[in-house]
């Protein structure tokens, strides 16, 4: 079922709650958006859901950010007081998928970020569509595998993000095999390469952090955040 769009409007910046994000804010991307917004303004609204009013905010509608963290950060950096929002009715797993898809549709993602996002997206998708989970049985599972309907994860992810199904499958395998903290440590570093991720995916999880340290020493890669 397609998520329901409730309305589009302007909202005060201080009513947007960011919460925990799958990927941290990339300050370089925020800087680029700031320069763009100075010229054209923000062309695409951020995506939010309505937040439940707290005791201290009764009477003031607040919003939970779903997608658009970099746009929000750029508007704050520019001193804007309002931001364009599109309000959607989304469940928890739908919010995760929406955040993943916005990032995955970008052009500047490295291998580690793609692996992390695709693996998180797959977990959320399978919670929404249990019949597509590996090992599931029944009519829904048979249809998904034999007909290749739109509920199959790889097809859905490829369609929504514009990536080939083989690429989706590879990213999911890497993200499922490599510890999330290890992926975060090598993101946007000298080690953020497909061959390195494949090597880590073949390494037992308890040994992956040590493996990264060895690769740093062997290759002289100095841009990674030290793993402790």
Q: What is the pLDDT of residue 52?
A: 80
- Structural contact between residues 197 and 174, judged by C-beta atoms closer than 8 angstroms: yes
Q: Which residues lie below 8 Å from residue 207, measured CB to CB, with a gap of 6+?
A: none
Q: What is the pTM of this model?
A: 0.82
Q: What is the pLDDT of residue 139?
A: 44
Per-residue pLDDT of the chain (228 residues; tens, 9 = 90+): 456 677 899 999 999 999 999 999 989 999 999 999 999 999 999 999 999 866 555 678 999 999 999 999 999 999 999 999 999 999 999 999 999 999 999 777 899 999 999 999 999 999 999 887 765 544 444 444 433 444 589 999 999 999 999 999 999 999 999 999 999 989 988 999 999 999 999 999 999 999 998 887 876 654 544 443
- Looking up tokens 């992926």 gives 183
Burial class (CB in 10 A: 0-12, 13-18, 19+), 152: buried
The two tokens of residue 207 are 């040994």
Q: What is the pLDDT of residue 88?
A: 94
Q: What is the pLDDT of residue 53?
A: 67
Which of 35, 41, 23 lies closest to 112, judged by CA? 23
In 3-state terms, what secondary structure has residue 147?
helix
The two tokens of residue 12 are 């005060």
Q: How far apart are the first and last CA of the chain?
A: 44
Q: What is the pLDDT of residue 3?
A: 61
């Amino acid at each position: 079922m397609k998520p329901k769009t409730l309305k589009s409007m302007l909202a005060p910046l201080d009513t947007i709650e960011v919460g925990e994000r799958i990927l941290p804010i990339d300050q370089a991307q925020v800087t680029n958006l700031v320069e763009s917004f100075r010229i054209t303004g923000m062309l695409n609204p951020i995506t939010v859901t309505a937040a439940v009013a707290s005791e201290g905010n009764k009477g003031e509608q607040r919003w939970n950010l779903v997608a658009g963290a970099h746009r929000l950060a750029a508007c704050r950096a520019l001193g804007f007081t309002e931001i364009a929002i599109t309000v959607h009715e989304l469940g928890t797993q739908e919010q995760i998928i929406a955040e993943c898809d916005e990032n995955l549709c970008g052009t500047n993602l490295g291998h580690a970020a793609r692996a992390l996002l695709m693996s998180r997206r797959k977990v959320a998708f399978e919670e929404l569509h249990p019949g597509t989970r590996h090992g599931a049985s029944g009519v829904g599972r048979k249809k998904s595998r034999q007909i290749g309907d739109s509920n199959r994860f790889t097809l859905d992810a490829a369609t929504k993000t514009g990536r080939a199904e083989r690429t989706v499958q590879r990213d999911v395998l890497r993200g499922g095999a490599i510890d999330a903290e290890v992926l975060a440590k090598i993101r946007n570093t000298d080690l953020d390469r497909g061959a390195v991720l494949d090597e880590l995916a073949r390494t037992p999880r308890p040994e992956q952090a040590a493996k990264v340290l060895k690769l740093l020493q062997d290759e002289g890669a100095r841009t990674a955040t030290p793993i402790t």
